[in-house]
Amino acid sequence: MAHPIVTLRAYGDGLRLIIRPNLSITEIEEAIQQELARMNPPLSETSVQIDMRAPVLTDKELERLKTKLQKTYNLQTREVASPDETAAPVVVAAPATHTISQTLMLSHNESSEQSRIVPQTIRSGQTEDFPQGSLIIYGDVNQGAEVRAGGDVIVLGALRGSAHAGTNGRLSAVVIAMELVPLHLQIGNYINPPLLGQKSRGYPEIAHIGSKDIIVVERFVKF
Partner 1 sequence: MGKVIVVTSGKGGVGKTTSTANLGTALALIGKTVAVVDADVGLRNLDVVMGLESRIIYTSMDVIEKQCELQKALVRDRRVEGLMLLAASQKNDKDDIQPEQMKSICQRLTVNYDFVLVDSPAGIERGFQNAAAGAEEAIIVTTPDVSAIRDADRIIGLLQNARVEPINLVLNRFSPDLVKSGNMLDKSDVLDILNIELLGIIPEDEAVIASTNRGIPLVHSTSSSAAQAYMRIARRLSGQQIPIPDLHAKNFFSGIMEWFSRKR
- Determine, following the binding rule CB under 8 A, whether residue 128 of this chain makes contact with partner 1: no
Check residue 143 and report its DSSP letter: T
Minimum CB separation of residue 117 from partner 1 in Å reads: 18
Count of positions on this chain that bind partner 1 (CB under 8 A): 15
The answer for residues whose C-beta is within 8 angstroms of residue 143's C-beta and 6 or more apart is 124, 160, 161, 183
- Determine, following the binding rule CB under 8 A, whether residue 124 of this chain makes contact with partner 1: yes
Distances (CA, A) of 214 to 64, 144, 207: 31, 24, 10
* H or E segment and range at residue 34: helix 25-37
Separation of alpha carbons 90 and 131, rounded Å: 37
- Sole binder of partner 1 in the list 158, 174, 177, 181 (CB under 8 A): 158
Separation of alpha carbons 133 and 80, rounded Å: 31
- Determine, following the binding rule CB under 8 A, whether residue 147 of this chain makes contact with partner 1: no
Minimum CB separation of residue 198 from partner 1 in Å reads: 9
- Determine, following the binding rule CB under 8 A, whether residue 127 of this chain makes contact with partner 1: no
β-strands 75-81, 215-219 pairing: unpaired
- Sole binder of partner 1 in the list 70, 99, 102, 121 (CB under 8 A): 121
User: Does residue 19 sit in helix, strand or coil?
Assistant: strand
Amino acid letter, residue 117: I
- Sole binder of partner 1 in the list 29, 35, 79, 140 (CB under 8 A): 140
Considering only residues 163-222, where is the footprint of partner 1 by CB under 8 A? Answer: none
Per-position x/- string for 7-36, each x denoting binding to partner 1 as judged by CB under 8 A, each - no binding: ------------------------------
Binding site for partner 1 (CB under 8 A): 120-126, 139-140, 142-145, 158, 160
